[in-house]
Structure 1
Amino acid sequence: MNAASPKKPVLYQRNAFAPGILAAIACLAGISLLSHPYYEYVRYVIAILAIIIGWFAIRAGQWWWAPVMLAIAVLWNPLFPFAFAGPWWVAAHIVAAALFLAAGASIKTVRE
């Protein structure tokens, strides 16, 4: 047992991890609310969190996530909503949830 071993400091921080998890939860919960009036609030949550994650991606220098998050923010925007429905829109929710989780896990910045 090595009780006196010092721990190494963490070199990276993942600022987009928590928003990515929240957005994935909102995407998956939004599937059950597709025909409900509360779905507009789900659109707000998804669009805002996509913009936040995109901003963290730009700040981290991983700009390739920014267009993905911008596309999600545009597709789920509540101000000028698209009238998507059906199984393709349900699949889009699942794909967006996976993208949010992947972005949250891979966007990292060097801790100062």
Structure 2
Amino acid sequence: MNSESLNSMGEIDSCCSSEGERKSHHSDNVKNNLVTRLNRVEGQIRGIKGLIEKDTYCDDVITQIAATQSALNSVARILLEGHLKSCVLERIQEGDTEVLDEVLVTFQKLMKK
């Protein structure tokens, strides 16, 4: 089964579940956006490591950690939005309301801070 929806960037994303295998299918632009953001996070992590190795003032390191967490949360928000607008919507339309429990568990994981 395949469902398509318009994402926040005005592009079509789709999610599908075929033969028990669940996969997301993001447009190339969305994938590139996510990979770019994750590359930036990876660089921030390396930068934090370098700050610690240089004995940088703790408050400055903590500020960089907060910025990195925010960037990673941004990736999660983009993924969650696409998931809700495609995969979850499709499953609800098919009568599969168990997906709501799955989404609630996902929200709990994201809010465990």
- Please give the range of the TM-score, normalised by the shorter of the 2 chains: 0.3 to 0.5
Normalized per residue, the structure richer in strand is 2
| TM-score, scaled to structure 2 | 0.42
Normalized per residue, the structure richer in helix is 2
| TM-score, scaled to structure 1 | 0.42
Structure scoring higher RCO (CA < 8 A, sep ≥ 6) equals: 1
